[in-house]
């Protein structure tokens, strides 16, 4: 039979693996879409009923911690070739958010009622709903123009908004971090190394200065490339 000749069987196996990969990625993106949508609903409900950022973090923390941490899987997706994205860039973007989620907002309770949290959670949530919707429709074979437009337009406001919220949150954490010596490892110790989390956070904020303009201008260039190609009239 042809399937035993070494040609048809491998092709079928490859198709099966590709089908499983697509099915997994569809499930992953749907779960993320649903998770971030529920987070948005809770955020809107809290702000509409309470009219204050106080208590907002407690409302959204579970969804934020679970679904932002789950994004670590996207690094694995890149490494395994399931998606065509740069592993290093993806790892940087994911870990910077995971860091802010756990090492700042979760670990430093005093920042949880600052407006910085409202800003970056709002920006992240809208961005992720759009992004995972984009990936979902891409896997199905076609992305509606509205979602393409949203993905390559909303960042113009959302990215600076998110960065502002992130910087406010990190800056607001400095006092508590210094007072509690949080994640502070002085000498002498077995590793013969010291670490001052307070100074690390200052360095972390300074790194926004060179990185933010580069990423922002890159995304503006991507918008011109993608939206421009879609809107460009086709030759007769």
CA 163 to CA 151: how far, in whole Å?
A: 17
| Peptide bond before residue 211 is cis, with ω within 30 degrees of 0 | no
For residues 218-223, give the mean pLDDT: 94
Q: Are 198 and 128 in contact (CB under 8 A)?
A: no
181 Rama sector, left if φ>0, alpha if ψ -120 to 50, beta otherwise: left
DSSP lists the bridge partners of residue 195 as: 185
CA 216 to CA 210: how far, in whole Å?
A: 11
Tell me whether residue 24 is one of the annotated catalytic residues. no
Tell me whether residue 166 is one of the annotated catalytic residues. yes
Write out pLDDT tens, residues 155-181: 999 999 999 999 999 999 999 999 999
pLDDT over threshold 90, residue 234: no
Percentage of the chain modeled with pLDDT above 70? 90
DSSP lists the bridge partners of residue 31 as: none
- Average pLDDT for the chain: 91
Least trusted range by pLDDT, from 26-35, 70-79, 186-195 = 186-195
Catalytic residue among 106, 115, 159, 216: 159
CA 141 to CA 199: how far, in whole Å?
A: 47
CA 118 to CA 166: how far, in whole Å?
A: 10
Q: Are 90 and 34 in contact (CB under 8 A)?
A: no
User: Tell me, what's the pLDDT at 231?
Assistant: 57
User: Tell me, what's the pLDDT at 187?
Assistant: 80
Report the predicted TM-score, pTM, of the whole model to 2 decimal places. Answer: 0.90
Least trusted range by pLDDT, from 39-53, 93-107, 167-181, 188-202 = 188-202
User: Tell me, what's the pLDDT at 229?
Assistant: 72
Catalytic residue among 128, 132, 152, 166: 166
């Amino acid at each position: 039979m042809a399937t035993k000749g070494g040609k048809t069987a491998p092709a079928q196996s490859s198709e099966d693996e590709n089908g499983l990969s697509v099915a997994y990625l569809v499930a992953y993106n749907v779960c993320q879409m649903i998770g971030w949508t529920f987070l948005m609903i809770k955020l809107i409900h809290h702000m509409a009923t309470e009219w204050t950022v106080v208590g907002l973090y407690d409302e959204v923390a579970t969804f934020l911690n679970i679904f932002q941490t789950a994004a670590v899987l996207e690094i694995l997706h890149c490494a395994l070739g399931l998606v065509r994205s740069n592993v290093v860039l993806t790892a940087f973007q994911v870990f910077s958010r995971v860091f802010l989620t756990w090492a700042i907002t979760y670990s430093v309770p005093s920042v949880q009622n600052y407006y910085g949290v409202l800003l970056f959670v709002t920006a992240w949530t809208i961005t992720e709903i759009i992004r995972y919707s984009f990936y979902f429709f891409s896997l199905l074979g076609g992305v509606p123009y509205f979602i393409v437009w949203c993905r390559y337009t909303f960042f113009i406001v959302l990215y600076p908004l998110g960065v502002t919220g992130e910087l406010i949150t990190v800056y607001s954490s400095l006092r508590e971090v210094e007072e509690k010596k949080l994640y502070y490892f002085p000498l002498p110790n077995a590793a013969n190394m010291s670490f001052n989390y307070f100074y690390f956070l200052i360095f972390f904020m300074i790194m926004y200065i060179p990185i933010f303009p580069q990423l922002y201008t890159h995304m503006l260039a991507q918008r011109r490339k993608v939206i421009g190609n879609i809107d460009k009239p086709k030759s007769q």
